[in-house]
Amino acid sequence: TKNIADVCKELDCKMVYLSTDYVFDGQGTEAWQPDCKDYKPLNVYGETKLAGELAVSETLTKYFIVRIAWVFGKNGKNFIKTMLNIAKTHDKIKVVNDQIGTPTYTFDLARLLVDMIETDKYGYYHATNEGGYISWYDFTKEIFRQAAELGHEEYSEDKVNVIPVTTKEYGASKAARPFNSRLDKSKLPENGFTPLPTWQDALNRYLKEIEF
């Protein structure tokens, strides 16, 4: 990241750096502000992303540091694909309900980033889809509800039982994960950027994009 920032400085060009809520400690219930400097990364991932943020902000003035969370897109693995696959072989699924955030659809994020780099409104931003803060349990319930609505009846409530559990009860994660991934996005409209559509709408479009 530092090497790229150095080249951007040399060429006097803009840089976009995608970061994460993991630069914070994930505690409390208040949404994290984009200009908050109270960094306390929970794990190595968060530490490396914070190091990247600092490399950009200390080297450049023309930068957009955009923190995102709970990302899903057409390529690669993500939570939605994982849940859809698990439900094919399990009729009971335990999902944590004490980690709170908002999903981010890569398609919607990409549009925002293009809009952003065409301006000179530099600085720190938060970008997830709109639609409110939810738990992974809430997200799973909506994934299955929409999948069933699209004709995949194997995901209906009478076929798959989703059980809410705490992170402690679930217990499988090797890396510490934030309980509070709420990101305040009000800086986007304040600077003239169009907020992303709701995560419910994004999920609907995404399910129609993928094969499952």
**Number of structural domains in the chain:** 1
Catalytic residue (choose from 45, 122, 133, 170): 45
* Residue 45 known to be catalytic: yes
Given this model, what pLDDT does residue 172 score? 73
pTM, entire model: 0.95
CATH number for position 164? 3.40.50.720
Structural domain boundaries enclosing 17: 2-209
CA nearest 207: which of 89, 112, 110, 73?
73
Segment 88-113, tens digit of pLDDT: 999 999 999 999 999 999 999 999 99
Tokens of 112: 């925002």
Q: Is the dihedral of CA 73, 174, 85, 148 positive or negative?
A: negative
Given this model, what pLDDT does residue 156 score? 97
